[in-house]
Amino acid sequence: MLGTAGWILFPAISHSALEAFATLARLDDDRLSRIQTPPGWLTDRRCVPYCFRCFVLNDADVSAPRWKREWLDPTAEFCRVHHWLLETVPASVFRLSNHLDAAHRAISRYRKKCLSRGAGHLR
């Protein structure tokens, strides 16, 4: 069952399913297993941390946002790249969005709303 953050915190899949996906993707199953969410990170949350600049500036594909695994860590506070405090977005953004593009639009709307309130920060 998915928690308050929906699909972004997806529980680990079985070893047999992991092997099947690794075969289909032509990847080593160890490599594929490293992208799974660690069980200790699967907690219900009110908010999810992220760095907006890293989110929208994807070096691998400039036309697509990216979500860093390190932001799924419930203790994450600072961006390792920009060395500033991570912003947060309500966990419901992911629960209510079917995919990352929809979440990207929802995050942008939430961010714009927060900035227009004159909050000065988004934490």
Instruction: Indicate the pTM of the whole model.
Output: 0.81
- 109 with 52: CB under 8 angstroms? no
Domain ranges of the chain: 10-42, 45-123
- 42 with 74: CB under 8 angstroms? no
Integer Cα distance of 85 and 78 in angstroms: 4
The strand pairing partners of 58, in sequence order, are none
CA distances (Å), origin 41, targets 13, 16, 44, 75? 15, 22, 9, 9
% pLDDT > 70, the chain? 94
Residues 105-117 have a mean pLDDT of 90
pLDDT in tens, 39-75: 899 989 999 999 999 999 888 887 788 899 999 999 9
* E strands in the chain: 47-50, 87-90
Q: Which of 53, 58, 69, 63 is nearest to 107 (CA)?
A: 53
According to DSSP, residue 108 is labeled H
